[in-house]
Amino acid sequence: MENIVPNDYHFAASRQKKISDLIEKNHSVKLSDLRHLFDVSEATIRRDLATLEDKNILTRTYGGAIANLMVSEDLSNEQRAIKNVEEKLKIGKAACKLISEEQTVFIDSGTTAIQLASVLPKNMNCNYVTNCRGVANELYRRGIMSFYLIGGSYLEVNDSFVGTLALDSIRTLSFDISFLCVSAVDLQRQQISLGSDDYSQIQREVIAVSRKSFVLADHSKFRASAFLSTATFNQIDGIITSDIIGEEMIEALSKIEINCIYT
């Protein structure tokens, strides 16, 4: 068999290798740019993208594709605290608007959750529940004392408490609204996911006892995929994110039955 010439884009393998390289470098590609680069039909490009999507290299969007960055384990809160801080603060402020007076509110573990705790109004007369030491510390720092910290086995990576004790405690409670942090928002599978098995169990239980559940996700969560699914889109009530995710991603989300709030 003849060797494939690397820059001969009439061969599917050469096109797909180039697309993979572009995705790895730029994290996204546009259909129109690929048509111009390869001088082939739109249908051909769509087939190439479908092949690469089947290999879990990318996720197709309206007008192109984005990279799949696998999260095998979560970064620590300390590592994530310095990433996308302003964006996370805006997401936290948007989440505050969904809280009504005298509600019982669950706040998840994560740096965006801590940003939410940092801007909660002090006069809502709500009860806050968390299993995150960082969230509890922030509430205490701000003088919000009507909170409950769920205990259990300490999970250092996200400064939270998990395990049997935490799960049993959550099962006895009921939340009017919960705010969840995730490792990835997967549009292809229409699910939210995490890199931690212990923490994914916590989130499943929280969703089960919540009247409403919203995901707090900065733009980086849409460029990743994670090992463990927590819930499908039809099991949550919405996603609070930023328009930094880009027009293509916003267009793709508009075609899915999920309530999205953009900051």
Residue 84 maps to a domain = yes
With contact defined as beta carbons under 8 Å apart, do 157 and 71 qualify? no
User: What CATH number did the domain enclosing 210 receive?
Assistant: 3.40.50.1360
Over the stretch 175-226, which tens digit does the pLDDT of each residue have? 999 999 998 898 888 999 988 888 999 999 999 999 999 999 999 888 666 6
The domain total for the chain is 2
Cβ atoms of 90 and 263 within 8 Å: the answer is yes
Q: What is the pLDDT of residues 33-65, one digit of tens each?
A: 999 999 999 999 999 998 888 777 777 777 788
Q: Is residue 140 in a domain? A: yes
Transcribe 179-197 into DSSP letters: EEE-SEEETTTTEEEES-H
Give residue 43's domain range: 12-67
Is the predicted pLDDT of residue 258 greater than 80, yes or no?
A: yes
CA dihedral 198, 200, 203, 208 (to 10 degrees): -110
In a domain, 7, yes or no: no
CA–CA distances in Å: residue 85 to residues 4, 80, 108, 140, 186: 46, 9, 17, 21, 22
3-state secondary structure of 5: coil
Average pLDDT, the chain: 87
Same domain, 57 and 96: no
* Between 110 and 2, residue with greater pLDDT: 110
Same domain for 85 and 56, yes or no, is no
Q: Are residues 120 and 191 in the same domain?
A: yes
Please say whether the beta carbons of 241 and 179 come within 8 A: no
User: Are 19 and 109 contained in the same domain?
Assistant: no
- Please check whether residues 147 and 23 belong to one and the same domain: no
Same domain (yes/no): 197, 86: yes
Same domain, 170 and 204: yes
pTM: 0.73
Residues 126 and 253 in one domain: yes
Amino acid in position 57? I
Please indicate, yes or no, whether residues 214 and 238 belong to a single structural domain of this protein: yes
- CA 232 to mean position of chain CA atoms: 12
Under the banding of pLDDT at 50, 70 and 90, the label for residue 7 is low
Convert the pLDDT of each residue in 101-112 to its tens digit: 999 999 999 999
Closest CA to 54 of 26, 21, 16, 105: 16
Nearest to 230 by CA among 258, 249, 202: 202
142/240 same-domain check = yes
In a domain, 5, yes or no: no
- Any domain includes 1: no
Residues 6+ positions from 213 with CB-CB distance below 8 Å: 177, 178, 179, 180, 206, 207, 231, 235, 236, 237
| 257, burial (CB in 10 Å: exposed 0-12, middle 13-18, buried 19+) | exposed
Q: What is the pLDDT of residue 68?
A: 67
Whether residues 209 and 115 fall in one domain: yes
Q: 6 lies in a domain?
A: no
- CA gap 185, 232 in Å, rounded: 10
256 to 137, 147, 251, 259, 262: CA distances (angstroms): 37, 35, 9, 9, 15
For residue 246, the model assigns a pLDDT of: 83
Indicate the residue type of 147.
F
